[in-house]
Amino acid sequence: MTDIKKFFLNGESYYIKHDINLFELIDYFNYNNYLLVLEHNNLIQNKKNWKNIFIKNQDKIEIVTIVGGG
């Protein structure tokens, strides 16, 4: 039996079959990881920890991108 996990990214629900970490998630959705802030289950996560945090069922992830301008 496959363990399917449901997680939320910016309020939208997604499903995954394989274990992925936050770094892989950022890469999959093609975010520029230099210009964002990532919140995982209500905690801001330091970029150096993204490869060590794997998505679990019902996780809530919020990504805020930083946009420059004048």
Domain that holds residue 55: 5-11+20-60
Q: What is the pLDDT of residue 23?
A: 96
Given pLDDT bands bounded at 50, 70 and 90, which one contains residue 65?
confident
Residue 1 has pLDDT above 80, yes or no: no
Give the count of domains, the chain: 1
Asked, for residue 43, whether it belongs to a domain, the answer is yes
Asked, for residue 69, whether it belongs to a domain, the answer is no
Asked, for residue 70, whether it belongs to a domain, the answer is no
More reliable by pLDDT, 54 or 68: 54
Instruction: At 22, give phi and psi (nearest 5°).
Output: -65, -35
Asked, for residue 39, whether it belongs to a domain, the answer is yes
Asked, for residue 42, whether it belongs to a domain, the answer is yes
pLDDT, one tens digit per residue, over 8-60 is: 999 999 999 999 999 999 999 999 888 899 999 999 999 999 999 999 999 99
The enclosing H or E element of 13 equals: strand 12-16
